[in-house]
Chains A and B, each alone.
Chain A
Amino acid sequence: MRRVTLSVERGETLCIVGESGCGKSLTALAIMGLLPRRTRRTASRLALDGIDLMAASDAELADLRGSRMAMIFQEPMTSLNPCYTVGNQMEEMLLRHRKASRREARDRAVQLLEKVGMTAAASRLQQYPHQLSGGLRQRVMIAMVMMCNPDLIIADEPTTALDVTIQAQILLLLAELRREFGMGLILITHDLGIVARIADRVAVMYAGQIVEEGTVAAVFRDPLHPYTRGLMNCIPVPGKVARGSRLGSIPGMVPSLIGTLSGCSFRERCDFRRPECEADIALTVATAGHARRCIL
């Protein structure tokens, strides 16, 4: 990741979109303070509602995680503990972060499971994660992060492992919760369809940098960075791309991020490459609310 600048407001959805290895998940982990060992985080500013996360100690961060910011992962089976019941894990959130009795925690868990559309909520508390389907597990995961009413939710590919019908339901749920509780939502995905439908703003990442950022309407109407344009040409869009016709593609491969990098990281694959691309390029505003890291 290199010099990523992001912001998300209350009640706003920011989507980070990019392909594998572009650094979108690392961005999320860096915000949460959950980076793997042997990685380093530097930032001129990283703050949640005015709290400086760079200055916070590990203990303070642990207090913030779960209570004020929470994360939803792609595969709920790996992020839920298989040895504890759903109820146990949900209640723990409240018991750990708030002064709540077991009773209150239980009531809130039932209330939230109902909120995320689970039938027989009270009896679900006794179940273990393996007894639930993928869609239900992801609902449990969402209900769990809602336990403490966080200000910020980061969802990393929350629906990638799910069927289309369930995907739509889960996204609908996230959008509703965000509206109702005024949370900020950062959603990480590789699916431009999801971005178009749920985001207010979108940041396109490539090789650890944000190459384009703007409101969803602006970016989809007029993608400015060649990489964004390439991505959009790669997906078959019914009605716009003739059936069985050749799809666009982006030649070449993502550059290695090892060592020092300079210049535009997309230049090797770009059709519009110029000598100026060898120099570092800043993210500059093109029109109000729409910026790109490109000289074109």
Chain B
Amino acid sequence: MSQLLEVRALERTFRIGGNAFRKGRTLKAVNGVDLAVASGEILGIVGESGCGKSTLAKMMLGLLEPTGGEILLEGAPLAAMSRLDRARRMQPIFQDPYSSLNPRQSIADIVSLPLRVHRIGAAAEQKRKVLEALDLVGLARRYAGSYPNQLSGGQRQRVAIARALVMRPSLVICDEPTSALDVSVQSQILNLLLDLRRELGVTYILISHNLAVVEHLATRVAVMYLGRIVEDSDTESLFRAPKHPYTRALLDSVLTPEPGRGIPDAQLGVAYPNPIDPPAGCTFHPRCRHALPRCRVDAPLPVREAGGLVECHLYGGPSA
């Protein structure tokens, strides 16, 4: 499989609290991320709030300049690509369909905007493509003239998906696509995303904190902690045998609907550290049950094995 998107040593820092006279402090939101998404995969990115997953998504979409490293889309550097080029190949779906659709535009206008921007086809052809896109996402054609406030949350998210797919991009980046939706609507949208993958062969990057959703959809999962990928593996082995203690704690915290099992205690103890002031050594060590003395001092290097990666001193032997 060819790599559709490659992220190499990606970094993004923010200045916090500085002004003209005083240098602020630096926050490393994304701190050396390597990722690759092959065509046809669904890569899930999970992690707690503040771990940098949304910053990473913004950089992959080209909405935010990286401060280090590079992103390759279909083998070409993203930074050198024009905005139109990027948008043709890659589209986002955001969390909240209430704020991601322009309330003053009709559904047809919203879905056809990418076509108009890229000057694809005459008005009649654009109209046909819009209707096709609505069919594709299971939204009745009669809604084309409606406005977002006339639609339910699930229908709006379908509009957002239609807009993302009308240009037939090869990659769709979904940032919490179902978090704002009800359970019964969430399942419809997840089904739709899977159907579209089968029909159009789209590749997804799925950013979510809902691990059950990620496990259901993703083919590969990357776990992020304080700006780094601490584990990256195929979904099956990640959920069956998580390696990194943080991944284990995350999975332990999931409340599956099984009565009688009680509430799990992930024993993470200390709160999520402040990213401005990350702990020395392995950034996870203050919360880790298996911390070794060296975890306080040395940051672990990624250990690669059979299609996966884990960044922890417990793996890879003493010299790693």
Contact = CB atoms under 8 A, between A and B. Distances in A.
A50 B250 CA distance: 43
A247 B272 contact: no
Interface in B250-275: 250, 252-266, 268, 271-272
Contacts of A134: 49
A57 interface: no
B19 interface: no
B255 A197 contact: yes
B191 A246 contact: yes
Interface residues of A, number: 47
B271 A135 contact: yes
A267 interface: no
B255 A249 contact: no
A196 B216 contact: no
Given A190-B182, A220-B257, A243-B216, A168 B263 contact: yes
B299 interface: no
B209 A163 contact: yes
Contacts of B186: 234
A247 B272 CA distance: 33
Given A172-B265, A249-B187, A163 B212 contact: no
B148 to A, nearest CB: 16
Contacts of B132: none
Nearest to B219: A244
Nearest to A22: B182
Interface string A177-214: 00000000000001111111110000000000000000
Contacts of B259: 196-197, 216-217, 220-221
Interface in B209-229: 209, 211-213, 215-217
Contacts of A133: 271-272
A241 B257 CA distance: 12
A85 interface: no
B249 interface: yes
Contacts of A166: 48
A198 B250 contact: no
B266 A168 contact: yes
A46 interface: no
Interface string A119-137: 0000000000000011110
Main secondary structure of the interface of A (DSSP, over half): helix
B184 interface: yes
A19 B184 contact: yes
B239 interface: yes
B291 interface: no
A164 interface: yes
Contacts of A172: 263, 265
Contacts of A196: 255-259, 261
B4 interface: no
Contacts of A234: 183-184, 186-187
A198 B263 contact: yes
B194 A244 contact: yes
Contacts of A230: 184
B182 A20 contact: yes
A144 to B, nearest CB: 19
Interface in B82-110: none
A195 B268 contact: no
Interface string B231-256: 00001100100000000011011111
Given A165-B48, A193-B254, 11 more contacts: A168-B264, A169-B266, A169-B268, A172-B263, A190-B182, A197-B259, A198-B263, A220-B257, A244-B194, A247-B216, A249-B188
Interface of B: 48-49, 152, 182-184, 186-188, 190-191, 194, 209, 211-213, 215-217, 235-236, 239, 249-250, 252-266, 268, 271-272
25 contacts: A20-B182, A135-B272, A165-B266, A166-B48, A168-B253, A169-B265, A172-B263, A192-B183, A193-B212, A193-B257, A194-B255, A196-B255, A196-B258, A196-B261, A197-B259, A198-B263, A216-B259, A217-B260, A221-B259, A235-B257, A236-B215, A238-B212, A243-B216, A243-B217, A244-B217
